Amino acid sequence: MWLTGWSALALLGYALAAWGASPERERWMPALWLAWPAHAVALVFDLGGIGQLPAGARFGFAPALSLMFWLVWAVVLIESRFLPLQFMRRVLAMLAAVAVALAWVFPGQLHAAATPWAPLHWVLGLVSYGLLGTAVLHAWLLGRAERQMRHPGSGGAPVGLPLLRLERLTFQFVAASVLVLGLALLLGAALGAPWHWDHKTLFSLLAWCVLAGLLAGRHWLGWRGAQATRWLYVGAALLLMAYVGSRFVLQVLLGRVV
């Protein structure tokens, strides 16, 4: 009941924000400050299994996706105080609404913690999704800014941030995601459970290798621009397949309990 109410409130706020994400309807943007906290409470109820039977933490592809968009919105709400980001709010609000709806329909499955450190492993993995999602968003903004610089008449709202600063922010988020994902992998390997080369483990390791390779290439080979963003998008796609993609296939398409 509580989960349903907070999810509905978040959906309403994101829908109003998406509808009002234009200069002539800017008065609707405070709806984001309704949606984002409601989204946070819904995540707490969902991931914590509060008020659900049996009690216990629940994880799944939809809650992971929902948390990723909540973390992305946390960064956007901070940066929007300094940058004109109205042009991207509509798409982000609609994507967040879809993620909330998916988590509402597919709330995840009960997971028993094998050790006291298991919740930290789960949290680190989910946070790495949010950090990498934020890096992808900044990479997209970087590409948009570069196109506007090369083609001044291309139109569209300006990004409003110097290219070098935007590039630095992008790779800071990449570095943070590599660090957090690496900690999650190390902790998962040290929890004492037998190591399994399943889809989640394989795609997570591939994603970490690609992203670490991107940071190395940028540092030693000077990778920038389209070459760097391609590596970032590949790494993000691999990480998305690691948990969200594999769990979607198992839970929804195959109907397995994992």
The rounded radius of gyration (Å) of the Cα atoms in the chain is 19
Inter-CA distances, 36 with 6, 93, 115, 129, 206, Å: 10, 10, 32, 18, 32
- DSSP string covering 141-156: HHHHHHHHHH-GGG-S
Under 8 Å between Cβ of 42 and 10: yes
| Least confident segment among 69-73, 135-139, 148-152, 170-174 | 148-152
Confidence bin at 196 (pLDDT 50/70/90): low
pLDDT digits 0-9 by tens, 123-150: 888 888 889 988 998 888 888 777 777 7
The pLDDT value given to residue 124: 86
Q: Using alpha carbons, select from 224, 187, 226 the residue that is nearest to residue 204.
A: 187
Q: Is the pLDDT of residue 225 over 60?
A: yes
The pLDDT value given to residue 103: 84
Under 8 Å between Cβ of 72 and 133: yes
**Collapsed DSSP state (helix, strand, coil) of residue 59:** strand
The two tokens of residue 105 are 């329909």
d(CA 99, CA 55): 23
The pLDDT value given to residue 2: 47
pTM: 0.80
The pLDDT value given to residue 197: 64
d(CA 83, CA 180): 27
Residue whose tokens read 């995601």: 177
pLDDT digits 0-9 by tens, 27-59: 556 778 888 899 988 888 777 666 665 655 667
Confidence bin at 154 (pLDDT 50/70/90): low
The pLDDT value given to residue 212: 95
Burial class (CB in 10 A: 0-12, 13-18, 19+), 206: middle
- Give the pLDDT mean for 64-72: 87
β-strand partners of 110: 58
The pLDDT value given to residue 188: 79
**How many beta carbons lie within 10 A of that of residue 34, not counting itself?**
16
| Least confident segment among 13-27, 65-79, 231-245 | 13-27
Q: Tell me how far the alpha carbon of residue 91 is from its chain's centroid.
A: 14
> Higher-confidence residue: 25 or 256?
256
**Collapsed DSSP state (helix, strand, coil) of residue 224:** coil
Q: Is the pLDDT of residue 192 over 60?
A: no
Dihedral of the alpha carbons of 238, 242, 248, 254, in degrees to the nearest 10: 110
The pLDDT value given to residue 19: 76
If you average pLDDT over every residue of the chain, what do you get?
A: 78
β-strand partners of 109: 59
Helix (H) or strand (E) holding 109: strand 109-110
Q: Tell me how far the alpha carbon of residue 118 is from its chain's centroid.
A: 21
> Higher-confidence residue: 53 or 210?
210
